[in-house]
Every structure is written in structure tokens, then in C-alpha cells.
Amino acid sequence: MTLHSGYVSIGILLICGCNNPRVQPDSRVQNQIFVAVPDNAGIHFTHTNGMTGRLYIAELMGAGAGWLDYDRDGDLDLFLVQGRMLGNHEQSELLVDWQGDPPCDRLFRNELVPSGHLDFVDVTQESGILGLEYGMGVAVGDYDRNGFPDLYVTNLGNNRLWRNNGDGTFHDATPVALVNDSRWSTAAIFFDYDRDQYLDLFVCNYAEFNANFEKECATPQGTLDYCGPLSFASITDRLFHNNGDGTFEDVTGSSGIASAYGRGLGVIASDLNDDGWLDLYVANDSSANQLWINQGGHRFEDNALMAGCAYNGSGKAEGSMGIEIGDIDGDGQDDLFVTHFVNETNTLYRGKGKGLFEDATDFVNLATASRSLTGFGCAFIDVDNDGDLDLLVANGAVKIKWDQQTKGEIYPLKEPNQLFRNNAGQFEVIKTEPELNKWAVSRAVAMADADNDGDIDVLITESNGPTKLLLNHSQLNWVGFTLLDKQNIEVYGARLTLCLGDGTKLTRCVRVDGSYLSSHDPRVNIGITGRTLSSAYLMVNWPDGGLEKFEGPFIERTYIRVQKGSGIDSH
Amino acid sequence: MSAHILGFRKAQELTVIDPASVAATSCAAEPRLAIFCLCLSLMFWQIACQSVTMQDVDHPSYDRLEQATIDIIEGIKQNLDDPAKQDPYQLGFHYSELGRWYYSLEFDQAALTCFRNKRQLADDYGSAYYEGRIAHTLGDLPACIKAMIDCLEMYPSYLPASVFLSQAYRESGELMKAQSVLDEVDDQGAAILYERALIAQRQGDPNKVIQFARRALEQEPEANALNYPLGIALRDTGETELAEKYLSARGNRNPQLEDPLMDDIANLQAGNRALAQDALTDVLRGDHSAALEKYRKCIAEEPENARLHRNMAVALKMSGDLESALSSLTISLELEPSHPKTLFNLGTVLSLLGRDEEATVYYQNALQAAPEFTDAAFNLANLLRRQHNYEDSVHWFDHVLKARPGNRDAHMGYIVGLIGLEDWESAENAVQTAILGVPTDPIFKNLSIRLQVAVPDRFQTPTQEVFDEASLLYRSETNLINAETYAMILAAIHRWPEAEALQLDIIKAADTAKKHEILPRLQKNLAAYQAHKHAQIAW
């Protein structure tokens, strides 16, 4: 989020929600949590997957979205990843033609600050970003520590590192930084695995794929369909170490990351075994997931099998797509959630501490509702600001649905999204959300407080369809935090616990990664409806291993900046 | 295409049984691709005498389904057209048949509707069971539970229904009910114990998981699906090493449970299996391209069938496409980790690619998974011998010979390994064992002779008996090996000119036969004979 000079250890950054200009829902939607925004708040973006009827697997997979305050004006801007033609085809062969200019990645500036109106303006051209590849995902992070967030865009083909110049423009730093990967990359994250303060880069790669040598696959009914992941050989993910001078070094081999891999689609970084070093959890499509335990900042070892999160509770590898982390039951342990293919369940791996997990999907009532759908993006969001993490899952099939096909759907993969309310660790589907119940081929979920009102809004991308911004109008009571290091640079990978006077402890991960191909709001919002912040204090586990206590008083309905070193060191 | 339209028209022609009204509705149908046809909303009518309402069936009219459905629809039409023939049981039978077809082709929603219609007309345990299974797939646990209870009311001892009902209760969090379903079952086989283990897992009781899973594994050791929950439970009780062992041995094979109803569905799906069988026949008769085409079709239908990927890899290997074979085997291994045959095939392909060290590891892993896998032991032994690791090579050849005492190549490898170790006494014993084990192969007699006259520092002047034997071998089968041995014998008894002359002939023959790899050895021995020395062969 925005970084201001004249910094104090804990300061009020943003304004109260009650004064916040926002889009008011009409009376018909008063009982809904999420509402569509008129004109989509200016986000006019339709993803194209370049489909020609040839049924390439790659056209199923995109694309992602990233929230970032690229101009540091205090509101979150939006980067959207675009597809294009695939294979040797003419534009005339497209089943859904694009209008106007050829499709490319887009940057939208949020005009909320200072205009007071939530409105996004397409600033792609003036930003200097020219993303013409077949895009997949985006990672956000200030890799050069100049205070402005940069972008790493993954593609089916060459990836791009867009360095933020700090003046509203970006330039392509890929050749200098040496972070290209020309294979099929999907999710990527910036994280500091060796605690040198410089964000390193992890890139998931999916599979060997060449649209010019595509395979043909058929359904059990004998008709043509998209090939599944097992039709393509998996390839290694990559880890790039940030040298701190604008360049990176590929340490995939020496770090041990090359020793195990699948068809990677999702990744999160968190200290999953509580040893003070950021670990990685990688979601792979139709093969074992990896839990890369950081061995002191030099090497990683995959411990997913013993940790109990490589396979589901029956020991089966699932078609993992999206990934999410959060403490859903308030026990202080991070839980992992992974979305999966139809006929599998989405899986909730409950954290047992010390880096161990157990499949608790049935236990938290998440199995049945997901069996008939294919999940992609996902986000733990406290949608009603009641202090526990609810769950949003974006769904969209990857195998042709014959009933849609025979009704003339050109892209017959539509499914409804799902919102689950967390009731004391048990999830139940909220069926009263018309915007989420609309059938679409949804992919990414990127969450952010786009209108700075203190509740979390969501952006949902569609494969070959329009991107939608849904505003949350729960508000109620909340408090937000932005974590900064001693040089005022945003920190990812910390874990904070808000300890309330009544003994309640609310733990949250500070991160932008997860979901599917996306990057979230780096701020942490904690719902405190029905609670008070009097006598509250904050415990922060910094990603470098330090534990720090921050005393209040904290002001409700505000974003509070928390700077490392300004609290009470608990070590 | 005409078949689809025919089916549609027939559906439209269905008439009504008085006094019920029928609204034969059809989904809007706009085929985008020729291969796909229309969605036909088939039937919606009431049968007054039954006072039941049939549900729409969204009829997917693809080629493979069409003839069967046309026949069934024809049956339904006749049933409805002729009041004299109106028979709800017959109609129900048609629905049941249609449902089984749909289910076999994974048109779950259509199948579900058919079975529900059937149950309204004439309930039966089979339709209830199928309804329960499909409802589970579609994520409707309450419907699944209800259908399974119905099934068990009609057929209380149908064990798969009990297990499935327990599973559904477990998944819905009703653990006491899940347990009580199993308590009512007399059977305490591995499948029941497995389900009990899963309930215990859900209850958070690792000790019970261990207890049930171990008992199940004792009954059915090959049910490797038990290994994973057992491993996790062992981990949670602190038995880390044991846990790792079981977790690593995880697999997809559930305990066996006879389920004739699902076997029926599987039989309908057997078309794909027949194709796979044909592909295997193609492999066996050497038509690799035909086999590969069939395997690709099979895999497109069953992408998670590890055996298909493995068999396709064999066809690819035999057709010389080693890299593709490697990819297929990698997929197969992902699907079935620790499968010995996959590990074995990975070893052979890597070996052919010259990646001997990796191949060695895969053979070792194959043997770890299946210690009695003799082919893996043999290939590993050979590979180790090629790497001059004679000690381990001898160990594995010995392992093979214990299982296959008549294996000529294993004897040869074992002897060569012992020679490599310069364990002459053991080598001589091994040769004698080989002569007894493979009496028809003269090579071991040949080796026996050579061991006497061509081993440095162990030279013995051959006896008349040995000389006669070598002479006989040479004359009975004049090949390079026998000739070379005879030349050695001639040299050993100091008949240098004859040895030299014979050796020159051997060299000429080897050169003609392009056996260049043995020429240095032959030349070396020729030089020895010319210098009046005994042969010293490189083994």
C-alpha cells in the first residue's frame, strides 16, 4: 500500500470507513454481500483465450490479475493478464473475435484517491507495459526496493519482469534481471527466502506444450474434448535468487527445487513449520503437491509426503489448481486449501503445527459441495467482518459439458462460483449471492479493499470472458494493518496476531500470493464486528524470524501502519 | 447424423396414456460441431394408473449411445402406443437399461433421472444403488444416503451398499451412523476394516486407524490404498520411520469388494478395455504403430490408467521412441508410485538411453518394491557388470539363479562377475553348476576349459581328457569361441605352429564377421603363440 514519509511506528494511514466514498447498492441487494459495480467501475476487460475450436489445453488456463498501488497514491490499481491467438491460426478462425486492438495485458489506475470515486482508467499505453504474449499469471513485489511495486508476468512463452520506474511508467527488466523462462509458466511469487531483504522469485511451470503439435483427446463418450494434464510431461519450477543489484541468479538446481516437480499451478510462501524461514507450498495438477521446507535460506527439501499435504486423505494426487492459506479455526495454525478437478473434492489441509497437516475437508464440510465442480481461484476472506475467515471459490470446468454444448454454448465450461460462510470452523454455502451464482468459466480470484472501506472486495477473472469487480458492502467493524520493514518497504510473509482484550486471538498471514495466478491486496483486514480494540495488542512474526509486540491503542475502521523495530521485541 | 434425428423424431412421437397429459419437450438444439448432436429433452408424461411423474431425460445423442437408446426408446414407444401393452414394469425395465447405458458413458445426470423414473415405476435395489452412487458423484449426500438406505431395505446383505452408506455418513460428519451401519454387517473383511479406519481417521483417533488398517492389510496385503491413512496415523503417533515407509508405499488399490452391480457398468465400459487388449496383441505381434494408435485412444478415455501409460511406453520403446517411452513411464509412475513394472521399464529405457546410473536406481527401486522380481534383478546385475561393479553384479545374478537355475544368461553373467572379481575357485564351481543347470549349452564346457588354460598364474597343462573335449567341441561346432579355445589348448600343449595357424584363421573369420571388438584379444594371443607363450585372455 502507499508509503508515506514522516513515518511513525504505528500511524493511521487511511480514513474511517464511514467517510469513505463508495458505490451504494440499491435496495434489491441490501441482503447480499457482493454486488456488481455499475459499468464495472471502468474495468473494461474481456479475456480472450484465442479459441478456434481446436481445443488446446492452454486456452483453459488463463488468466490472472494483480492488485498493486503502482503510483503510491493510496488506492489499489489493477493489472490484468491477457491471452491471444494460439497455434498457427488466422484471426478469422477465432470463435470469439476481439474488438479493436490486438489483446494485450492491461494496467488500470484507480482514481479513488484523490477523486473520491471508485473508477478505473486504462493507463496501459502510458505505463509503457506492452504485454503481447499468451499471458497466464502475475506476481507483485518491490524487487529493487525502490518503494514501488514491480510486476512479474508469466506467459506461455517468455515471461516478463516489468520494473516500476516510480513515475507511472514501467520498463522491461527481464533481460537485465535474468529472470526469463520461456516455457509454460503459471503462478509466480516474490518472497525473501534468505532473509537478505531482497525479494526472490519462484515461478511455477506447468507442462511441455506446443500448440503446433497439439494432441487430440476424446471423452469416454467418444467425442473430442480438451486433453487432461497427464497428456503432457511436467517440467521443473524455477527459483531465482535476488542478488540485490537488479539481477537474479537461477538457483533452481542448487536450492534443491529441481528435485521434485509436477504441473505447477499455484504457490504460496509462508513459514509453515514455524522455524522462522519462509517455506513454499506448490499445488500441482494431477500429481503430488510439494511442501518445500526452507533449510536455513540455502536449500529446500520437499516434505509434503510426511507433512500430509502431498495427497488427499486417501493418498491420492488430485488436480490441484488454486491454493490458499489461513487460520480457519482460530487455533493459531495456518491451514491450507487447494481447489481441484470435478469428481474430486477441494481439499482443506488443517495445520497441526510443526509443519504437519491432515486432510480435514469432510470435517469442515467442504467436500460435498465441491465434488461436482472444478475449482480454480480461491480466497479466505472475512466477508462479513465477523473475525473468522470465509471462503470464496471460483469455478469453471476444463472438460466440455455436453448439456451446455448441445444448447449452443461456444465455450461450454460454465459453472457457478461459491461462497462459504465460516461458522465456528464449519463451512456452509451461501446461496443468496446472485453475482456469484451466475454461471461462468471463472478462473482467478484477487481480493482487495478496492474502495478502501474496510471490507474485502473481489475481482474474478473469466477465461474467455469479462473480468468482474464485486464490491463487498458489509463494512461493519474492522481494523487493517500494513506491515513495513525498517526502510518502509512492504513486508510479505509475516504472520500477525491481533490479541483482543477478551482473550480472542485473530491470526492472519501477510501476503499477496495464493489463489490462482493472482496477487492480492498486501494489507491485512481483520473483522472485529461485535468486539472492541480496547486493550488490544498486536504480535508480529516477521519473516526474518523475529517476534515483535505492538501495543495499542488501535483505532477501529482504520488502516494502521506497523513498522518493524518500532514495537517491543519479544525475542 | 440421421440416426440422431431419427431418435429425436421417435421421442417426439411418443403419445399419452389417458388420462395423463404429456408434454414432450425438447431442449433447444443447435449443433455446433457435426460430431455432437442435439440435446433432446425426451419425455415428460404421467402414467395415470401409477400416479407417478416421470422426469425429463436430457438425452445425449452421441453415436455410441444411439443404437442402444433407439432400441430402448422404441420399446418405450410401443409400450405407450398400445394400451394393451401398457406395462409399468416393462417401461421401468427400459429406463433401467437406458440408465445403465448413460451411467457407463458417464452421463450422470441423465442416468440419475432414468433410475429415479425406474424406481417410481417399479423400485428395485439395483436402481436405488445406482441412484445413490450417482448422487454421491454429483455431490448430493442426502440423496445418496436415502438411496442407499432404500437399497439396503430391499437387499439388506448387499455389502457394497452398506460400505457406501457408511462412507456417505462419514463424509457428512455423521460418524456414529457410519459406524452403526458397519456394526450391522457380519462381514469383517478388509473393505469393512478400511472404512472403519477412515471413520477412526475422521474421529481423530490414530491408534484405531492403525489397528483397523493393519488388520485390513493382514487380510489383503496388496490393498495399498490402506498404506496412506496408516502412514498418517503412524506419523501422528510418533512412529516416523514406519510412517514414511507406509506413506511411500501409498497406492490406489482399494480392498476388494464384490460389487456385481458396478461390474455390470464396467462391462458396458469394456469397449475401451477390449481396445487395450487389441493394442497388447499388436505389441506382441510387433505392429507397434497400430498398438500406439490404440493406446492413445484408450488413454484419451482413461488418462489416469497407469497400466495403459506403461504398456504404451513398452510399445514406444519397441518402436525405438525412447524419449516418448520415458515420458509415458514417468506419467505412469506418477499415477502408481512404486509400481515395480513401471520402475523396471524405466530402468530398461534409461539403460537404452545410456543413462546407466539412473537405470540402476530404478532397478533397485523395482526390487525394493518387489524383491522377487527376477527380471529386474537380472537387468540390474547385467548393468552392474557393465559398470564393472562385479561384487553387486554377482549378488544379483545369484539372486536370479536361485529363482531360475536354468537361466543360461544368468549363469554366464554370474561366472563373468566372479572372473571379474578374480575369484577363480568360485568361478570354476559356477561353471560346473552351469554345466549341470544348462547341459545343452556347450559354452560352459568351453568356459571350463579356458579357466584351466588361460588364467594368468593358474595355468595347468591340460590333461588328455580336456584336450579331447576341446577338440570335440571344435569339431562338432566350429565357431569362433570353440576355435579360440582349441587354439589355446594347442598352445598349452606347446603345439605352437598349429595354434598360430588356427589363430590366424580365427582372426580372419572375426574380421570377416566384423567382430572387431574381439580382434585386439585375438591379436594379443596370436603374438603370444608366436612368442611361444600361453594364451592370456581378457575376460
Which H, E and C letters describe A346-386, residue by residue? Answer: CEEEEEEECCEEEECCCCCCCCHHHCCCCEEEEEEECCCCC
Task: Name the average pLDDT for chain A.
Answer: 89
For residues B417 and B395, what is the distance between their CA atoms, to the nearest angstrom?
9
Q: Is there a contact between B55 and B86 (Cβ–Cβ < 8 Å)?
A: no
Mean pLDDT of A301-319: 94
Collapse the DSSP code of A223 into the 3-class scheme (helix H, G, I; strand E, B; otherwise coil) and give the result. Answer: coil
First vs last C-alpha separation in chain A = 28
What residue in B sits closest to A412 (Cα-Cα)? B32
Q: Is there a contact between B137 and A372 (Cβ–Cβ < 8 Å)?
A: yes
Q: Looking at beta carbons, which residues of chain B come within 8 Å of A358? A: 232, 236
Q: Is there a contact between A305 and A384 (Cβ–Cβ < 8 Å)?
A: no
First vs last C-alpha separation in chain B = 71
Provide the chain A residues 392-411 that lie in CB contact (below 8 A) with chain B.
402-403, 405-408, 410
For residue B313, is pLDDT > 80?
yes
Is A221 within 8 Å of B31 when comparing Cβ atoms?
A: no
CA distances from A545 to A5, A9, A493, A541 (A): 26, 19, 11, 6
Element (H, E) at B168: helix B159-171
Q: Does B34 touch chain A (CB under 8 A)?
A: no
Q: What is the pLDDT of residues B454-487, one digit of tens each?
A: 776 777 788 888 888 888 888 777 788 888 888 9
Q: Is there a contact between A226 and A217 (Cβ–Cβ < 8 Å)?
A: yes
Give the contacts of B478 (CB within 8 A, at least 6 positions apart): none
Q: Looking at beta carbons, which residues of chain B come within 8 Å of A408? A: 28, 30, 32
Q: What is the pLDDT of residues B94-105, one digit of tens each?
A: 788 778 878 887
What residue in A sits closest to B143 (Cα-Cα)? A368
Collapse the DSSP code of A139 into the 3-class scheme (helix H, G, I; strand E, B; otherwise coil) and give the result. Answer: strand
pLDDT of residue B267: 72
DSSP A545: S
Question: In terms of pLDDT, which residue wins out, B416 or A77?
Answer: A77
pLDDT of residue B87: 64
Strands A134-141 and A150-156, sheet pairing: antiparallel
Q: Is there a contact between A144 and A163 (Cβ–Cβ < 8 Å)?
A: yes
Q: Looking at beta carbons, which residues of chain B come within 8 Å of A406? A: 27, 29-31, 36-39, 60
Q: What is the pLDDT of residues B20-75, one digit of tens each?
A: 222 222 222 222 222 222 222 333 333 333 334 555 555 554 444 444 555 666 66
For residues A162 and A154, what is the distance between their CA atoms, to the nearest angstrom?
11
Provide the chain B residues 377-416 that lie in CB contact (below 8 A) with chain A.
none
Cα distance from B3 to chain A (closest Cα, Å)? 16
Q: What is the pLDDT of residues B191-200, one digit of tens each?
A: 999 999 999 9
Is B235 within 8 Å of A405 when comparing Cβ atoms?
A: no
Is A217 within 8 Å of B228 when comparing Cβ atoms?
A: no
Q: Looking at beta carbons, which residues of chain B come within 8 Å of A356? A: 235-236
Query: Which of A288, A356, A362 is closest, CB to CB, to B171?
Result: A362
Give the contacts of B291 (CB within 8 A, at least 6 positions apart): B279, B280, B282, B283, B312, B315
Strands A106-110 and A120-122, sheet pairing: antiparallel
pLDDT of residue B54: 54
Q: Looking at beta carbons, which residues of chain B come within 8 Å of A311? A: 228, 250
Q: What is the pLDDT of residues A538-558, one digit of tens each?
A: 999 999 888 999 998 899 999
pLDDT of residue A18: 35
Query: Which of A217, A352, A405 is closest, CB to CB, to B32?
Result: A405
Is A343 within 8 Å of B330 when comparing Cβ atoms?
A: no
Mean pLDDT of A485-513: 93
Which one of A216, A368, A370 would you mutate to disrupt binding with B, by most B Cβ within 10 Å of its Cβ? A368
Is B64 within 8 Å of A221 when comparing Cβ atoms?
A: yes
Q: What angle do CA B196, B199, B202 make, to 5 degrees?
A: 155
Q: Which long-range contacts (CB under 8 A, 24 or more apart) does B49-52 make?
A: B49/B17, B49/B86, B49/B88, B50/B88, B50/B120, B50/B121, B52/B120, B52/B121
Is B228 within 8 Å of A314 when comparing Cβ atoms?
A: yes
pLDDT of residue A249: 96
CA distances from B433 to A91, A436, B128, B450, B468 (A): 75, 77, 65, 16, 21
Q: What angle do CA B28, B29, B32 make, to 5 degrees?
A: 140
Question: In terms of pLDDT, which residue wins out, B11 or A527?
Answer: A527
Strands A347-353 and A568-569, sheet pairing: unpaired
The partner residues of B5 in beta bridges, in order of sequence, read none
- Is the backbone of residue A545 left (phi > 0), alpha (psi -120 to 50) or beta? left
For residues B337 and B270, what is the distance between their CA atoms, to the nearest angstrom?
25
What residue in A sits closest to B27 (Cα-Cα)? A407
Half-sphere CA count of A131, side-chain side, radius 13 A = 31
Please name which of A291, A242, A282 lies closest in space to residue A262, comparing C-alpha atoms.
A282
For residue B492, is pLDDT > 70?
yes
Give the contacts of A482 (CB within 8 A, at least 6 positions apart): A1, A13, A490, A522, A523, A524, A559, A560, A561, A562
Q: What is the DSSP string of B145-159?
A: HHHHHHHHHH-TT-H
Query: What is the percent of chain A with per-residue pLDDT over 90, rounded to a whole number?
Result: 75
For residues A462 and A439, what is the distance between their CA atoms, to the nearest angstrom?
10
Is A313 within 8 Å of B201 when comparing Cβ atoms?
A: yes
Amino acid letter for position B253? R
Mean pLDDT of B193-217: 95
Q: Looking at beta carbons, which residues of chain A come within 8 Å of B63? A: 222
For residues B518 and B512, what is the distance between their CA atoms, to the nearest angstrom?
12
pLDDT of residue B77: 60
For residue A16, is pLDDT > 60?
no
Provide the chain A residues 256-275 that lie in CB contact (below 8 A) with chain B.
262
Q: Where are the alpha helices (DSSP H) in B203-339?
A: 206-219, 227-236, 240-248, 260-268, 270-284, 288-301, 306-318, 322-335
Query: Which of B29, B62, B198 is closest, CB to CB, to A223?
Result: B62
Q: Is there a contact between B390 and B417 (Cβ–Cβ < 8 Å)?
A: yes
Q: Looking at beta carbons, which residues of chain B come within 8 Å of A315? A: 225, 227-229, 231, 247, 250-252
Q: What is the pLDDT of residues A401-458, one digit of tens each?
A: 877 887 788 899 999 999 999 999 999 999 889 999 999 999 999 999 999 999 999 9
pLDDT of residue B40: 29
Which one of A96, A230, A403 would you mutate to disrupt binding with B, by most B Cβ within 10 Å of its Cβ? A230
Cα distance from B96 to chain A (closest Cα, Å)? 19
Task: Name the average pLDDT for chain B.
Answer: 79
Q: Which three cell numbers stand for residue A194?
A: 534468505
Label residue B82 by pLDDT band (50, 70, 90): low
Query: Which of A220, A233, A362 is closest, CB to CB, to B202?
Result: A362
Strands A224-225 and A299-302, sheet pairing: unpaired
pLDDT of residue A117: 92
For residue A39, is pLDDT > 80?
yes
Is B138 within 8 Å of A371 when comparing Cβ atoms?
A: yes
Q: Is there a contact between B114 and B96 (Cβ–Cβ < 8 Å)?
A: yes
Collapse the DSSP code of A202 into the 3-class scheme (helix H, G, I; strand E, B; otherwise coil) and give the result. Answer: strand
Collapse the DSSP code of B23 into the 3-class scheme (helix H, G, I; strand E, B; otherwise coil) and give the result. Answer: coil
Q: Does A227 touch chain B (CB under 8 A)?
A: yes
CA distances from A461 to A443, A447, B163 (A): 6, 11, 41
For residue A141, is pLDDT > 80?
yes
Strands of the A10-12 sheet, one edge to the other: A10-12, A559-563, A478-484, A524-527
Is A371 within 8 Å of B137 when comparing Cβ atoms?
A: yes
**Crossing angle of helices B306-318/B288-301, nearest 10°?**
160
For residue B7, is pLDDT > 90?
no
Q: Which long-range contacts (CB under 8 A, 24 or more apart) does B465-468 make?
A: B467/B493
Label residue B85 by pLDDT band (50, 70, 90): low
Q: What angle do CA B111, B116, B120 make, to 5 degrees?
A: 145
What residue in A sits closest to B254 (Cα-Cα)? A314
Q: Looking at beta carbons, which residues of chain A come within 8 Å of B170? A: 362
What residue in B sits closest to A409 (Cα-Cα)? B32
Least confident interval from A190-194, A278-282, B287-291: B287-291
What residue in B sits closest to A224 (Cα-Cα)? B35
For residues B412 and B397, what is the distance between their CA atoms, to the nearest angstrom?
9
